[in-house]
Amino acid sequence: MGGPPNQPPPYPASTAPPSGYRVKLTTTEPFPSPAQAGPPVCFDADGQSPVFIGSAFVNNAVHPCKIAPHLSPPCRIPYGGAEYEHHGRYDLLPFVPGTMEWVRASGGEIPPGRRPVEGGYEDNGAQLYHALGNVNGIQVPGKTGRHLGGCNVAFGGAEIVITHDYFVL
């Protein structure tokens, strides 16, 4: 069940799926309009280039990623100690401020009483969630999960692990 391609299904916002409504994209097509993409969750190191969140397939898993339309390719995943440049299919998760919020977390724990937005899973089935960490004063989207013990972000070619004071969506 769903709406037209690249549009959310006709469900009320209160019953959004645990992974949120996604826009299917590939690295060979143009980035969607601002109306479809929603507001950026942060800006890159230049302070002007918008950065969004999403999920992408990596081997036998799906990982939360940052999407920076000014980069080529735009989809970047913290994976294997590096900033993995993803080519091919990925999903954009439009950030909806009225129904989503960033909640402070540490140590890989999910804030009590909260339902995090599912961002994917490891090849062993361990759940991954969208996260937002701070690297030298710059907010960077990434992933978190209880098994990670923190927030992993892709930045400057590396996978950076932040164990305290990051945010879970």
> Under 8 Å CB-to-CB from 38, ≥6 apart: which residues?
52, 94, 95, 96
- Tell me how far apart the terminal alpha carbons of the chain are, to the nearest angstrom: 25
Structural tokens at position 45: 């190191």
- The phi and psi torsions of 22 (rounded to 5 degrees) equal -115, 150
3-state DSSP assignment of residue 27 = coil
Contact 77, 59 (CB under 8 A): no
DSSP, residue by residue, 83-107: EEE--SEEEEE---TTT---EEE-T
Query: Dmax over Cα atoms in the chain, in whole Å?
Result: 43
Q: What is the pLDDT, as a whole number, of residue 39?
A: 95
Q: What is the pLDDT, as a whole number, of residue 73?
A: 95
Whole-number Å distance between alpha carbons of 79 and 3: 33
Task: Give, for all 169 residues of the chain, the pLDDT tens digit.
Answer: 333 333 333 334 445 556 668 999 999 999 999 889 999 999 999 999 999 999 999 989 999 999 999 999 999 999 999 999 999 999 999 999 888 999 999 999 988 999 999 999 999 999 999 999 999 999 999 999 999 999 999 999 999 999 999 999 9
Total count of residues recorded for the chain: 169
Task: Give the global pTM.
Answer: 0.87
Q: What is the pLDDT, as a whole number, of residue 1?
A: 31
